[in-house]
Amino acid sequence: MSSGVQTVSTRNLHTWWQEGGVKDSKRIRIYENKVRQSHAYRVQVRSAPPAGAADAPWYDSFVYESIPRGGNGFFKTPVDSPNPQRFTWDECSDGDGISELEHKANLSMAWSQFEYDDDVEVKITPCNGVKLNEVTIRPTALHLEAKALSDAVVIRVPRNPDGFKFSVEFRDDIIEYFSDGTQYVKDGRHLVGREPRNALLIFASPFPAAEVTPPMSESNTTVMKPGPIYEGDWGSKAILYFPPGVYWMNSTQDGQSPRLGQNHIRLHENTYWVHFDPGAYVKGAIEYTTKNKHLYATGHGVLSGEHYVYTANPKEGYHGKKHDWESLRMWWHKLPVPGQTWHCAGPTITAPPFNSMDMKDPNDQIHVSARIQDYKQVGAWYYQTDGLQLNPDSTMRDVFYHCNDDAIKAYHGHVDVDRVTVWKIHNDPVIQMGWDLREVSHFSLRNLWVIHTRYFKHNDYVPAAIIGASPFYVNKDDPPEKKKKRDFKKQLAASITNVVCEGPCPGLLKISPLQSYDLKISNVEFQQELNPVSEVAESYVKGVDDFGSGKMAIEINNWSINGEKVTMDTFRSNQLGKLNIDKQYWKQWKINEVLQPV
């Protein structure tokens, strides 16, 4: 262990250290056997001493760090390609989602995680130019408080079986994002977002439960050794186990090596469980092939996509050639069988190169249900990086998402979601309900905390909103006869309760109807005024010419903006709510002022 570092492992508190940490001031790609360590923060943890008791010792908790593009540049070829090529705008019309302004701002996102079963204190010591001053902890709904010391801040984190996930932000580290209505600009009259230049996230996690702890034995477990991973090293046993250490994909599928960012782990069909110990840092992606009824991804380690280029496509040598089906996911199952369930408990992913997860067949008929808990996604800077798919009969609890694309997908029914924190960039809504016809019932979302957004423009196709429904997805390769039609006999029904949005917020909802809707939206608090770009601030439900006997049952209860209630007297597009619902739906929707029960 590094000199002077002290960690702890007891039944009440477990911290860990990552050997090979590199504090990179040049913002370049680090060596494959190293891990980027925060240049800006030191984190220590201890059990909270009882009042009047002597001070308890502090223990170190490693602080990881992610930067946009991982220091790799705007390339479409893998990081060690002999003929490196940059993206062109024809190939990547939105770039990779990282503007020149963001690139020059030297953004970083750090995180530290520990396991606990006791009240603890977390001490954060800023360094390398980050000033110790006024601190904000988000989500503010958690009501955590910081106590200032001479050179650090201390946050008391109470024992909680669900854990806590929060951002620690110092006033003088905040940068402001301005827009001219079409793009970010250095300054202007539209202030569309505020967020830390050097973000710091704390993940206080409960110890893993027995049901998500793999029953490992010599006969059923492949134990990986830290270092390079070559094709097939993962074996064919039921469980794949990553002890603490740094791992990276080092060959192509046909065995050429060394090759970075040109392979991922295609598990053997016998393998249904992948476990990452705390301190395991795996540079790769996971694809299941099992027909086992239950498949797992567990443990408090990290899965990193930092060696992959944006939209990396395995069919094209992992070059950045976007394909909706073939571009790499961090979690993948392309040939599932009916009745499968994915149990995902504990992992953190960073630097995903594209959509983070898909588990369905090519015809979108067979879906893997999910049981997701204590999941974290950080450093998701690229344009099309989104949250996990919520297939039918799925649950999700206690999740943190940093993402550019949509965070929560309301595509399927019998889905239950609770306690999700979202740090959103600028592509698509926080909750996406569109792209295709949906027949959805029993979709429930509670306790959504949106701690940052920075939408600089609106586009109906990728709506800037908390709740959005895009028009039909257009595949340029589809023939005209495949053009889809709206169907208002179908219905999407959802309940969304307890939503807090901090900072300049986009409109509450932007819906381009493809089918009927039955939405109950309750207890919505926008803590500040809406985003100053008028098209971003507006909410709408667009009119259609084929609605017929369709249904637009939208009920909004207890919605406030900057402390003021939105009512049926203040909802209009030129008023507080900036809500523009087409007149053809009049009397099908309503706004109530009354607080709704949780």
> Residue 92 has what pLDDT?
56
Catalytic position from the list 405, 406, 418, 428: 405
Nearest Cα to Cα of residue 301 among 240, 210, 363, 222: 240
Query: Do the domains at 13-67+106-205 and 218-405 have one common CATH topology?
Result: no
Q: Could you tell me the CATH superfamily of domain 218-405?
A: Single-stranded right-handed beta-helix, Pectin lyase-like (2.160.20.10)
Is 386 catalytic? The answer is yes
Q: What is the mean pLDDT of the chain?
A: 93
Q: Higher confidence at residue 103 or residue 334?
A: 334
Lowest-confidence range among 96-105, 166-175, 315-324?
Answer: 96-105
Residue type, 40: A
> Residue 475 has what pLDDT?
65
> Residue 481 has what pLDDT?
62
- pLDDT at position 457 over 90: yes
Contact 178, 455 (CB under 8 A): no
> Residue 1 has what pLDDT?
66
Residue 500, SS3?
Answer: strand
Q: Can you give the residue ranges of every domain in the chain?
A: 13-67+106-205, 218-405, 415-482+492-598
Residues 499 and 493: their CA atoms lie apart, in Å, by 18
Please write the tens of the pLDDT for every residue from 177-210.
999 999 999 887 899 999 999 999 999 999 999 9
Residue 91's pLDDT band, with cuts at 50, 70 and 90, is low
Lowest-confidence range among 48-52, 88-92, 261-265, 367-371?
Answer: 88-92
Residues 187 and 555: their CA atoms lie apart, in Å, by 38
Q: Higher confidence at residue 281 or residue 256?
A: 281
Contact 546, 581 (CB under 8 A): no
Contact 462, 150 (CB under 8 A): no
> Residue 294 has what pLDDT?
98
Please write the tens of the pLDDT for every residue from 415-446.
999 999 999 999 999 999 999 999 999 999 99
Which helix H or strand E contains 103, and what residues bound it? helix 100-104
Residue 436, SS3?
Answer: coil
> Residue 471 has what pLDDT?
95
Question: How large is the C-alpha radius of gyration of the chain?
Answer: 23
Residue 128's pLDDT band, with cuts at 50, 70 and 90, is confident
- pLDDT at position 137 over 60: yes
Pairing of strands 348-350, 302-304: parallel
The domain defined by 13-67+106-205 carries CATH number 2.60.350.10: yes
Copy the structure tokens of residue 158.
Answer: 């109470």
Give, in degrees to the nearest 5, the angle at Cα 451 between 572 and 399: 120
Phi, psi of 583, rounded to the nearest 5 degrees: -65, -20
- pLDDT at position 28 over 60: yes
pTM of this structure: 0.96
Q: Higher confidence at residue 89 or residue 544?
A: 544
Residue 205 contacts by C-beta under 8 Å, 6 or more apart in sequence? 113, 114, 115, 116, 163, 300, 346, 374
Catalytic position from the list 96, 173, 358, 386: 386
Nearest Cα to Cα of residue 390 among 363, 362, 420: 420
Residues 5 and 279: their CA atoms lie apart, in Å, by 14
Distances (CA, A) of 516 to 364, 487, 511, 538, 547: 22, 8, 11, 21, 9
Residues 444 and 440: their CA atoms lie apart, in Å, by 11
Residues 319 and 82: their CA atoms lie apart, in Å, by 13
Copy the structure tokens of residue 223.
Answer: 């134990």
Which helix H or strand E contains 358, and what residues bound it? strand 357-359
Distances (CA, A) of 162 to 45, 110, 373, 498, 574: 18, 22, 9, 18, 42
Residue 541's pLDDT band, with cuts at 50, 70 and 90, is very high
Please write the tens of the pLDDT for every residue from 490-526.
999 999 999 999 999 999 999 999 999 999 999 999 9
Q: Could you tell me the CATH superfamily of domain 415-482+492-598?
A: Single-stranded right-handed beta-helix, Pectin lyase-like (2.160.20.10)
Residues 242 and 348: their CA atoms lie apart, in Å, by 14
